[in-house]
Amino acid sequence: MKASIRPIMVIGLITCIGFNCLYYHTVDPALSRNNLEPSSCLSVVAFKTLINGLPPDINTEQSPDGKRTNIKVTEDKYNGQSHPILDVMAKEVFNESGILSSNDKQGTEVTKGVFIQINNKISYSALGYAGRLLSTMTLSILPSRLTAVESFDISAFEDQKLLFKKTYLHEVRSWLWLPLVFFFWAGEDQKEGQFYYKDVIKDVISNIVAKRKEQKKCPK
C-alpha cells in the first residue's frame, strides 16, 4: 500500500511545482495590494489603452487522414489597438474607487478633465518563446526558459496639461517545461499578472490625487 502511495505523492509534487512554483513575477516599482478608498479629489476620468508586442496567433489544422498539418501564423489583431481585457480591468478598479470612467477614443485630444493614457508593451525572448511554441505545436516535452517583460507607460493629463508620466515593469521568468499560456494578465490561470495590472491602476489613481492636492485642485 505504501509503495503505491509514493508514486502518487511524487506525481502530485511535480504537478504542484510545474504549475505553481516555476513562475517568478517581479514588479518595478513595488506596488501595494491595498484597496483604495473613494476620494472627493477625483470623481471622473477618461482613459485609453494601447497594446503592442503580443505574440502572433498560430492556428494548426490537420488533414482528415492525419498526414498533413497546416500551420497559419497571423499577427495578433490587438497589436496597436486598445485591448478589451485591459479596458475592463481598468474600469473595475475605477468603479471600486468610486470613480466614473469612460474609455475615450480621442486619446490625448480630450480637452477637459482628467485623462489617462495607458501604453502597454510586451517583449519576450525569441528563443524561449520558440521552445514553448514547438512544445505546443508538437505536443512534446521541450524544456525551455522564457523571460517575458511587460511595460506600462502611463501619462496622466488634466485639461490637456501633463500631470505626470510613470513607467511600471512586470517581468515573468519561467522554467516551466509545460506549454506557456500567454499572455500573463489575459490567461485565466495567470491571475497574478491581473492583480499586478490592477495594482498599477490603483497606484496611478493615488498619484493623480496627490498631484491634484499639491496643485490645490481638491475640495476642502
The structural domains of the chain, ordered by start, are 24-214 (3.30.160.150)
What are the cell numbers at 212?
A: 491634484
What pLDDT, on a 0 to 100 scale, did the predictor assign at position 47? 95
What pLDDT, on a 0 to 100 scale, did the predictor assign at position 148? 79
Confidence of residue 69 (pLDDT cuts 50, 70, 90): low
Compare 89 and 63 and report the one with higher pLDDT.
89
71-97 pLDDT tens trace: 777 888 899 999 898 999 999 999 999
Q: Which amino acid is at 56?
A: P
Confidence of residue 212 (pLDDT cuts 50, 70, 90): very high
Cα separation, 103 vs 207, in Å, equals 20
* DSSP single-letter state for residue 17: I
**Would you call 66 helix, strand, or coil by DSSP?**
coil
What pLDDT, on a 0 to 100 scale, did the predictor assign at position 114? 93
Q: Which amino acid is at 179?
A: P
CA proximity to 206, closest of 169, 151, 153, 163: 163
Cα separation, 72 vs 43, in Å, equals 46
As a whole number, mean pLDDT of residues 198-219 equals 91
Question: Residue 65: in which H helix or E strand, if any?
Answer: none
Kindly report the average pLDDT of the chain as a whole number.
76
Confidence of residue 209 (pLDDT cuts 50, 70, 90): very high
What pLDDT, on a 0 to 100 scale, did the predictor assign at position 182? 41
What pLDDT, on a 0 to 100 scale, did the predictor assign at position 1? 45
| 214 Cβ contact list (under 8 Å, min separation 6) | none
Asked if the model's pLDDT at residue 211 lies above 60, the reply is: yes
What pLDDT, on a 0 to 100 scale, did the predictor assign at position 23? 56
Asked if the model's pLDDT at residue 17 lies above 70, the reply is: no
Cα separation, 64 vs 67, in Å, equals 8
What pLDDT, on a 0 to 100 scale, did the predictor assign at position 195? 82
Whole-prediction pTM: 0.74
Confidence of residue 24 (pLDDT cuts 50, 70, 90): low
148-190 pLDDT tens trace: 788 999 999 999 899 999 999 888 776 654 444 444 444 434 5
102 pairs with which residues across the strands?
46
Compare 158 and 126 and report the one with higher pLDDT.
158
What pLDDT, on a 0 to 100 scale, did the predictor assign at position 162? 92
What pLDDT, on a 0 to 100 scale, did the predictor assign at position 193? 74
